[in-house]
Amino acid sequence: MMENRTRYAPSPTGHLHIGGARTALFSYLLAKKHGGQFVVRIEDTDTERNVEGADLVQMNMLKWLGVNWDESVDTDGPYKPYRCMERIDIYNRYIEQLLTEGKAYYSYATTEEIEREKEEQIARGEAPRYSGWDRDLSVDEREKFEAEGRIPSIRFKVPSGKQLVIEDAVRGRVQFESDDIGDFVIRRPDGRPMYNFAVVIDDALMKMSHIIRGEEHLSNTPKQLLIYDALGFDIPQFAHVPLILNAEGKKMSKRDETIIQFIDQYEELGYLPEAIVNFIALLGWSPAGEKNEEEIFSIEELTELFSLERVSKAPAIFDTGKLNWMNGQYIKQASLTRITDLAIPHLEKAGYIQAPYADEKRIWVERLVGLYQEQMEYVAEITELASMFFVEELCYDQEAQTILEQEHIKEVLASFIANIRTTTEFDPETIKGLLKKVQKETGYKGKQLFMPIRVAVTGQSQGPDLRESISLIGADLVVRRLQAIIDNK
């Protein structure tokens, strides 16, 4: 029985997209469930689109998610190298084999000739495909083209009348006809292999047992099946997972700004990696049995539960609201120390705090973050939620202004100022005692007491624990805010 081996093979053309992350995760989960190996291979043959360092960015994001590999460009694995452009000699050996066996040929068609042929086919109502007019050129004809300066590509000879069938783990039986496929290029004129050729060589030589990829790759499968067959390679188990659609049910575009689409953006916003993993695992997959009713899973639980049989054919809908809810659940369960560490860079960027963080200052920041830990859906929200602790003057909305217009406001606020000035302590317990004194002095209690003070001190009619908030704001700023309200009455 073939060892369970899966791979994720990104092109280094940009950041790790949510769809790519899901493919990598599914591949990782399947391999780990069966004690196999997960490989990350860099498909960098499309050199015009490659972005320097993009492979490392993507790999760092996989590590951040906890999707760790057994073999890749940074390991001394048994099937190295794991970067396609370092495997050119390997591809060329198999291309020479196909040429020798008459299964491939040198093609001298120019870009203009190919386009003209395509336009003529479309004009006749035919599906465009390469005609193969230069399949059987004589030596003299080849030399003539080369004398003109034409540098040949190499095309695969597609056999006619052949049925190509896969039993896809997600989509079931899928059948293609070779007559719908024209002879296709497997090596460019500059010597670089085409994707559909290189990917077969690499998957076969690296002994991949399962190929998990997006549904959009299904159209590549017939060409790859032909290469597998021509070279006598075993065909792996394919699994084409469903598309991810936006909330409107449309295919996600990288220009779609309604959805944050790249994993590093989620890291920057203070999402937790385990929440992202949990969320993307449920995009097109669900566990069986009683677990189907649950929504929160660790990566270890996902590894145990995952199976290709539970991957849906139907497109998955990216629900940002559900992601935010799920991330909020993970934030609530996380340690306050961890969430504070994530919050500090956001507070620094907003100009609210700056290093160094002595023990007293660190404790203050941790208390501040603790006020909002239950409320945050992602950690970057801390800057907006906690802004009242860092500004001198507050903005009061209509509801707050209505509260501040009550007749007894000056009496309550003046009493509170007077009591604050009697103490050097300003911890929550002391503030509790001060508020009791204000109640006793003024006769006001409940909302009549606490609402004016909350609004005057925080600018909000609702918010986190009042005593903790007042303590964190500090006595001097609290007094200035209270006095400003009194002065404006």
Q: What are the catalytic residues?
A: 254
In whole angstroms, give the CA distance from residue 87 to residue 438.
79
User: Please, is 88 exposed, middle or buried when counting C-beta atoms within 10 Å of its C-beta (0-12, 13-18, 19+)?
Assistant: middle
In whole angstroms, give the CA distance from residue 458 to residue 452.
10
- DSSP code string of 188-224: -TTSPBPHHHHHHHHHHHTT-SEEEEEGGGGGGHHHH
User: Please, is 460 exposed, middle or buried when counting C-beta atoms within 10 Å of its C-beta (0-12, 13-18, 19+)?
Assistant: middle
Residue 386, helix vs strand vs coil: coil
- DSSP code string of 394-408: ----HHHHHHHTSTT
What is the sign of the dihedral through the CA atoms of 345, 351, 355 and 359?
negative
Length of the chain: 489
Sheet holding 153-156, edge to edge: 104-107, 153-156, 184-187
Residue 22 CB contacts under 8 Å (≥ 6 apart), including other chains: 241, 244, 280, 281, 283, 284
Residue 184, helix vs strand vs coil: strand
Whether 43 contacts 7, CB under 8 Å: no
Distances in whole angstroms, Cα of residue 262 to Cα of each of 3, 69, 266, 331: 32, 20, 7, 20
Going by the DSSP 8-state scheme, the letter that residue 393 receives in this structure is S
Going by the DSSP 8-state scheme, the letter that residue 324 receives in this structure is H
In whole angstroms, give the CA distance from residue 85 to residue 154.
17
Find, among 62, 65, 30, the residue nearest to 208 by Cα. Answer: 30
Element (H, E) at 155: strand 153-156
Angle between helices 475-487 and 447-458 (to 10 degrees): 100
What's the start-to-end Cα distance of the chain, in Å? 84
Q: Provide the residue type at 313 as one letter.
A: K
Q: Output helix, strand, coil percentages for the chain, rounded to the nearest 5.
A: 50, 10, 40
